Amino acid sequence: MSLIKSISGIRGTIGGRTGDTLNPLDIVKFTTAYATFIRRNGGDGRDAGFNQNRPTIVVGRDARISGVMVDSIVCGTLMGMGFDVVNIGLATTPTTELAVSTLGADGGIIITASHNPRQWNALKLLNREGEFLTASDGAQVLQLAEAEDFEYAEVDALGHYINCDEADDWHIEDVLSLELVDKEAIKNAHFKVCVDAINSVGGIILPKLLDQLGVEYKILNGDPTGDFAHNPEPLEKNLSGIMDEMKTGQYDLGIVVDPDVDRLAFICEDGRMFGEEYTLVSVADYVLSKTKGNTVSNLSSTRALRDVTERHGGKYSAAAVGEVNVTTKMKEVGAVIGGEGNGGVIYPECHYGRDALVGIALFLSNLAHKGKKVSELREEYPNYFIAKNRIDLTPTTDIDAILNKVKEMFKDEQVNDIDGVKIDFADKWVHLRKSNTEPIIRVYSEAATMEEADALGKQLMQVVYDNA
């Protein structure tokens, strides 16, 4: 499997040859390039609270089997560059993001491959605000990695290593302090929930959050071994275990997260999926009912967010796929809520990052206020269906030529090419784009029925096959 290098970091499978996978030599190279970038852009230790004026980086990781190995290399490399390291250990992606800003550090590295299977891992790179690097900053890191013009610290200038076990508490405190998180209403609702923590860091932090909210819960796959009980992407086809548990009728809500807890999916009280696209829709509906404003999601997300936003008098905008693209657009249009249709909720009142803890707390607040079953809440929203298909790429695939062909074929429709090609029809849409994290083309399509959505996606997939 090829090593995937993008502006947001590097991702690959563990083991294999240098340059082809995520291996120790490449981990050192990209960590060094990132540290070099931070130093050249003013990394100075700021307010991190250490005795010497060295730049400081926060490191957190999910529970993947390879995590200890990657973590050791990352931390050692940073220290070798003369950086102090605050290692918060097993932590969610949003926890690590918030720890950067809480500590006043110069940046952060999250060791996680998100929803990818167990053989994958990755380095996600943060700036001093605890947000993902911009496209231009990420490009600089990649250029530095290719040049390999590095200078390491001499013995008296090596960085220090600090363990920190408070980051989960900081995160939960930030979530519970949000004005729209109604702790009393949630507690008084006496919710009982079932959680699938997919053998990663969700099994550590979610019980702490639910305890603070006064919610009764059962955790499935809660032991953070990194040996995932099922495919870790929170899609219906992977969630038969918790869906069957929900069908016993013992719970008000099912909660599913991915290994780094930035994606969130809900399951209704009867065992049916709420729909991962509707995680953001429902949370946005609650936020917009209390706070007037605009919303943003990426091009591959459901139109239901647009409909709900306009119902509340706001304006919806679309961004290219990728968290940094969404947050950039949110800042541009002053969005009060946004995210991605894969279950990623971004609420600026907490921070500019996808955060399942924020999503859970806001969703439970909405549910408590409305006093409805989860299935009844789902019925309040416009009903669309998204078909998600994929095409595996070969080394000879000319993706640009394929996308240009698609644009030409549908030039009389509304076409958006800021990220692949999205074709908007009056009552449906289809979006083709090359994945940033896997060697595939994603083909997402939405329509009034799943059959129509899938047919539209398959039509565009055939264009790819015909031109590959």
Q: Residue 45 above 60 pLDDT?
A: no
Q: Across 92-96, 415-419, 430-434, which has the greatest mean pLDDT?
A: 92-96
Q: Residue 409 above 90 pLDDT?
A: no
Question: What are phi and psi for residue 170, nearest 5 degrees?
Answer: -60, -45
- Pairing relationship of beta strands 120-126 and 161-163 according to DSSP bridges: unpaired
> Can you tell me which residue has the tokens 């896997």?
438
> What whole-number distance in Å separates Cα of residue 467 and Cα of residue 405?
8
Answer yes or no: are the C-beta atoms of 99 and 126 closer than 8 Å: no
Q: Residue 307 above 80 pLDDT?
A: yes
> What whole-number distance in Å separates Cα of residue 385 and Cα of residue 378?
13
Q: Residue 53 above 90 pLDDT?
A: no
The pLDDT of 251-265, averaged and rounded, is 98
pLDDT over 90 for what percent of the chain?
83
Q: pLDDT value at position 398?
A: 79
Q: pLDDT value at position 9?
A: 82
Answer yes or no: are the C-beta atoms of 232 and 117 closer than 8 Å: yes
Q: Residue 125 above 90 pLDDT?
A: yes
114 is known as an active-site residue = yes
Q: Which CB contacts under 8 angstroms, 24+ apart, belong to 275-278?
A: 275/378, 276/234, 276/235, 276/341, 276/342, 276/343, 277/301, 277/302, 277/304, 277/341, 277/342, 277/384, 277/386, 278/302, 278/304, 278/378, 278/381
Query: Which two three-digit tokens encode residue 339?
Result: 């995210």
Q: Residue 49 above 70 pLDDT?
A: no
Q: pLDDT value at position 44?
A: 58
Element (H, E) at 242: helix 240-246
> What whole-number distance in Å separates Cα of residue 74 and Cα of residue 341?
31
Confidence class of residue 84 from pLDDT cuts 50, 70 and 90?
A: very high
Q: What is the mean pLDDT of the chain?
A: 93
| Candidate list 8, 66, 101, 114, residue with the active-site label | 114
Q: Residue 439 above 90 pLDDT?
A: no
**pLDDT tens per residue across span 159-175:** 999 999 999 999 999 99
Q: pLDDT value at position 143?
A: 95
Q: Which CB contacts under 8 angstroms, 24+ apart, belong to 400-409?
A: 401/467, 402/432, 402/441, 402/463, 402/464, 402/467, 402/468, 403/432, 405/463, 405/467, 406/432, 406/460, 406/463, 409/463
